[in-house]
Amino acid sequence: MLTKPTIEKITLTTINQEYSYELPANVIRYQIQIRTTNANLRLAFAPDQVDNVSAGEYWSMSQGTVFAEDELATDKGLSLYLAADTTGSIVELIYWTGIVRTS
């Protein structure tokens, strides 16, 4: 069973600087996108990746692109690492928590 979704706005104040966001324990599903016009978001699941534009391992997305994961089964939360190529970029995140059902 999923809880009511939580919506977060995350401001990335400095260009190409890594920011982290910790999703809570028992997160089941999330979606993330960049709201800022003409900005590109970099998303990674390990530190020191998104601030290294040429060599980092990250997922890149432009405005209007949504990255989503569902059917997650984590009881310890999940760290997201974010950076943007535009100062003051706003990232929108929505997530749900709940109980993971196993067969």
Averaged pLDDT for residues 38-45: 96
Bridge-based pairing of strands 89-97 and 59-62 is unpaired
pLDDT, tens digit, for every residue of 58-73? 999 999 999 999 988 7
Averaged pLDDT for residues 11-28: 95
If you search the block for the tokens 């709940």, which residue do you land on? 98
> What domains does the chain contain, in order, with CATH numbers?
6-97 (2.60.120.10)
In whole angstroms, how far apart are CA 100 and each of 7, 30, 81, 97? Answer: 21, 14, 24, 9
pTM (2 decimals)? 0.90
Strands, sheet with 27-34, edge to edge from the N-terminal-most edge strand? 6-12, 89-97, 27-34, 67-69
CB 9 within 8 A of CB 54: no
Distance CA 41, CA 55 (A): 16
